[in-house]
Amino acid sequence: MTHHRNDQPPTRIARLAALHRVDSWAPVIGAYALPALGAPDLIVVDGLRDAAGDDTGARARLTAARATGALVIAYLSVGTLEDWRPYASEVPPEWTFGPMPGWEGERFVDARAEGWRRIMAREAAGLQELGFDGLFLDNLDVADDHPQTQDAIVELVEAIRAAAAESVLIAQNGLATIDRLPVDAISREDTWWRWEDGRYGASPPEETAEILGALRRQRARGLVVLTLDYTEPGHPEAEAIVQRSRAEGFVPAVSVLALDRAPHAPTRAAARPRATGVDE
């Protein structure tokens, strides 16, 4: 749910206001250096240190993104362990379920491991201290496939909220637990188009209908809703996806699966005022 209590830090209140003005966003999590983006209202980048603990790249991406005036959000996978992260050596095999199909070096994590929840809270606090406006919490849908972890996923996000009290939180997927998570927005992949079986293609209509019903409920609850669909660059369906998303009151982006370049859709809506990022 959204949190607008008067006892919140002023920085968070300002960031929330900016989040609710967002009309365009750019998830460029896979780009080491920030690509040319135009003028999105919200940018998601990888903010974590590299395997050696060096945060030079993260700082450079933050600085470049901050210069655009956008809200700058740091990526954090809370549902998987990526073997190239500096904290990977802290995670024993018994905390994980198994490999994530299609993503080499990445394993699903059991959030019931208290140590994992501590690591995620620590990393969240570090990202806030580095200067990011918020956190993009990926792979929350691990709780869809492992429902026995749903309570622990909620505890994990609650711990992140406590550790990064000034940050806005965006849940990536995670519809199984979204009603219980202390987040400010939800991003949902694959609503209309996706990457599957080695190619881009339309999502099954019954899945699209189910996702839309869930996202409409979250928007009615007051969450900002972002959509993220995948097509080839230049595909004629991309702009149609944008129109469908905007018609629902959502904020769309259409990109390639690697998320290593600027979204190829939408063309920025000129009619609305641009959101303004919040400096520390």
Residue 57 near residue 63 (C-beta atoms within 8 A): no
Helices (H), the chain: 10-19, 56-66, 114-130, 142-145, 150-163, 205-221, 237-247
Residue 144, domain member (yes or no): yes
pLDDT band at 51 (very low <50, low <70, confident <90, very high): confident
Tally the domains of the chain: 1
Angle between helices 114-130 and 56-66 in degrees, nearest 10: 50
Residue 280, domain member (yes or no): no
Residue 278, domain member (yes or no): no
pLDDT digits (tens, 9 = 90+) for 182-226: 999 999 999 999 999 899 999 999 999 999 999 999 999 999 999
Residue 22, domain member (yes or no): yes
Residue 140 near residue 79 (C-beta atoms within 8 A): yes
pLDDT digits (tens, 9 = 90+) for 123-144: 999 999 999 999 999 999 999 9
Residue 26, domain member (yes or no): yes
Residue 5, domain member (yes or no): no
Instruction: Please tell me the pTM assigned to this model.
Output: 0.92
Residue 70, domain member (yes or no): yes
Residue 139, domain extent: 10-255
29 backbone dihedrals φ, ψ, rounded to 5°: -65, -30
Residue 108 near residue 101 (C-beta atoms within 8 A): no
CATH number at residue 125: 3.20.20.70
pLDDT band at 7 (very low <50, low <70, confident <90, very high): confident
> What's the mean pLDDT in 56-63?
95
Residue 263, domain member (yes or no): no
